[in-house]
Chains A and B, each alone.
Chain A
Amino acid sequence: MERYLVKDLMVPISEYATVTVGTTLLDALRVLERAQDAYTVSKYHHRAILVLDADGNVVGKISQLRALKAIQPEVELTEELAEIRRFKFSENYLAELRDIRSYGKIIKKETLLVAAGKKVEEFMQAPTPGEFVSEDSSLDIAIHRLVAGAHMSLLVTRDDRIVGVLRISDVFAALFHGMMAAAA
């Protein structure tokens, strides 16, 4: 395990679920569904979708959490919470208020239809500087970046191109096996 490099554990970009800018949330989820169906023939279980620009560059990522955020009617709620937070209400109060305001508003046909038509670029997560790792980096560096940025995956680079995705689940599995072997 000590000799593992990032490229040994990454999912190649060619095998990852991708959509292009301009795709709706509903179409993006269809792509993800097809990728999940292919899980039986591929070794990769997909939980996220990469968003590519017209030149095929990765410009964003849609995790399951991002998709849920797109469905939540966020704007009104966010404004109210931001306002209340300034006036010294506790995080506990804000959490309860969020529950109250959200109740019965998400799982509604109208809300779901609005969310289905949203374009991926409206809610995708753009990559941040700490979210990249070179394919020749050691797992030490990758683990540090996953932990420091609280990322579920890293984008793997070769020169200035993105060639794959390093998922936290694969790193964790490798770490766990390494630990078991060390303890044996």
Chain B
Amino acid sequence: MKELEILFNRIVQRVNINLRELHFDVSPYAATLFPSDQMSKFYAFYGITPGHPLDLHFEHSALAGSYFLGKCRVRNSLLYKSDIRGDELKRKDQSIRFDRFTLTMNKDELIDIEDSALVKTLVHNYSHDPETPEKFFIKDTLAMDYSNIHGSPCDGTFLGPFATVDLTTMRDCVIGAYSYIQAGEISHMDIAPGTIWVNSPGNFNFFYKYPADALAEYVSLSPEKVPWGILIDFIEQRKIEFQRVFDYANIEAIESVPKTSSLDRYAVVLPNMRIADNVLISQRAYLENSSLGKGSNAQENCFIINSCLEGNNVTAHGAKIVETDMGSGSFVGFNSFLFGKKEARLKIGNGCVIMPHTIIDIEEPLEVPVEHLVWGLIKNAADLAENSISLEKLGTLHGSFTQGRMHFEGEGMLLLKAFKDRIFHILDVNGAFFEDGQKAGHAQRNQRLSLNTIQPFQFGPMEGMYPNIRILP
């Protein structure tokens, strides 16, 4: 048995031990998860910048097609086409507030991945767990295709395809496919596919669950076949375009990108794109025949096709925007799927908040009015009426409120404020407000980033594994 297989079996066992109380066995899903024949074919790569600490430590791991930035340690783990982005980690001497505590970092924060398997997974942001402020740990965890681990330390966790955990520490949890969880801290929870849960204890609690049958059309998972559905098909149909940017060591720069914007060299850009100032385009983003207005961003695994983003638009990790006109300042959350058609365009009004993991899939033109919060599955105007609320009305909610499959309890104003603060923060750190050399963010700083590659063993019992490496400045 090759080392890759031994390591994989060990990880599966460790995850299963953690999830035994939930009677959840990851083995059937894991069996077809890693293309073992591909693990030696893709190089891994890492970013070097003057703005982030460089401290990479790889030990007894496979890293095929994965990207690293900042201070990361990977031990006894398998990563496949995953992005470990440590550009928002806390820095030595930085102070953060948590309740009544002020925590000062005594060293640079580290992303620490151990005994875990991540497939096409994005790891980003920083640990929001006040108990481990200097270590963003991912341990005994199996994350499937297009999942996002965003500011969420995990221990003993399974994430289904397109699952997102956001600003939440998790222990011994199962997060179903296409679920979005932002809840501070959870343990021993088995969360069904398509669950959208945003909980701030004492402030607000938002819950929506997709109808199982309807969600299954978009993403499904079973031990016999993993995963499939419209979302997977959508990505697979465009997969070939990524081969070009990953196959060549150097590709021609696109000159039409303004100096204040950055286009990652691992993004796909197809004609005819218009890119304004202060735009950030991250790696593995796919852009085609669209316009990105000033201050907009397209984060990892985004698809923007035949669409117009007016300006200051956030397209969060994994969001897909097709045949859509986005009004100024409108926000599209993680893994959302805005699927307009050529003859049925989607229009999103100014200042709208499309919640993470929202699906709008229409056959008739549809317009979301300005300043609305939108969630869940929407296929027509009636669905939109059921799954949206004006921000003005949201701000007045107090106590209990239910609409369709959505449940809300608490202060609507606090949920609204949380979204607005978060959107402002994202635009700010991405450099949307850069002007006269001030307020630089990722869009400006990423221009000073270069890339190195590392290769796995190509032959023998260690085929697909990477040598132990420590990379320091």
| Chain A residues close to B by CB (< 8 Å) | 83-84, 86-90, 92-93, 96-97, 100
Residue B199 at the chain A interface, CB threshold 8 Å: yes
When C-beta atoms are compared, the residue in chain A nearest to B407 turns out to be A84
Besides A86-B189, A87-B199, 14 other CB < 8 A contacts?
A83-B209, A84-B407, A87-B197, A87-B207, A88-B199, A88-B201, A89-B205, A89-B207, A89-B409, A90-B409, A92-B400, A93-B407, A96-B400, A97-B402
Contacts of B400 in A (CB 8 A): 92-93, 96-97
Closest 10 pairs between A and B when the two form their complex, measured CB to CB:
A93-B409, A96-B400, A93-B400, A87-B207, A89-B409, A87-B197, A88-B199, A84-B407, A89-B205, A88-B205
**Complex alpha-carbon distance, A51 and B201, angstroms:** 46
Number of interface residues of B (CB under 8 A): 12
A97 touches B407 (CB 8 A): yes
CB of A82 to closest CB in B, whole Å: 12
Grouping DSSP codes into helix (H, G, I), strand (E, B) and loop, the B interface class, with mixed when no group exceeds half, is: strand
Q: Is the interface of A mostly helix, strand, loop or mixed?
A: helix
Q: Are B407 and A89 in contact (CB under 8 A)?
A: yes
A87 contacts which chain B residues (CB < 8 A)? 197, 199, 205, 207
Tell me which of A87, A92, A96 has the highest count of chain B C-beta atoms within 10 A of its own C-beta. A87
Chain A's nearest CB lies how many Å from the CB of B22? Answer: 13
CB neighbours of B407 from chain A (8 A): 84, 89, 93, 97
List the interface of chain B (C-beta within 8 A of A): 183, 189, 197, 199, 201, 205, 207, 209, 400, 402, 407, 409
- Separation in Å of the B206 CB from the closest CB of chain A? 10
Nearest-neighbour CB distance to chain A for B292, whole angstroms, equals 36
CB neighbours of B402 from chain A (8 A): 97, 100
**Chain A residues near B205 (CB, 8 Å)?**
87-89
| 18 pairs, CB–CB < 8 Å, chain A vs chain B | A83-B209, A84-B407, A87-B199, A87-B205, A88-B199, A88-B205, A89-B205, A89-B407, A89-B409, A90-B409, A92-B400, A93-B407, A93-B409, A96-B400, A97-B400, A97-B402, A97-B407, A100-B402
Which chain B residues border A88 with CB–CB below 8 Å?
183, 199, 201, 205
| Chain B residues within 8 Å of A100, by CB | 402
CA A64 – CA B409 in complex, angstroms? Answer: 33
Q: Name the B residues within 8 Å of A84 (CB-CB).
A: 207, 407
Closest chain-B Cβ to A118's Cβ sits at a distance in Å of: 28
In the complex the two chains form, what is the Cα distance from A83 to B409 in whole Å?
A: 15
CB-CB nearest in chain B for A92: B400
For the complex formed, measure the closest distance between the CB of B196 and the CB atoms of chain A, giving whole angstroms.
10
A54 to chain B, nearest CB (A): 38
**Complex Cα–Cα for A89 and B205 (A):** 7
Closest to B189 in A: A86
Give complex CA distance A110, B460 in Å: 72
Q: How far is the CB of B88 from chain A (nearest CB, A)?
A: 28
CA distance A93 to B201 in the complex (A): 14
Name the distance in Å between A70's Cβ and chain B's nearest Cβ.
26
Contacts of B201 in A (CB 8 A): 88
In angstroms, Cα B209 to Cα A8, docked, is 57
Closest Cβ neighbor of A83 among chain B residues: B209
Give the complex CA separation of A93 and B206 in angstroms.
12
Complex Cα distance, B208 from A84, in Å, reads 10
CB distance from A41 to the nearest CB of B (A): 51
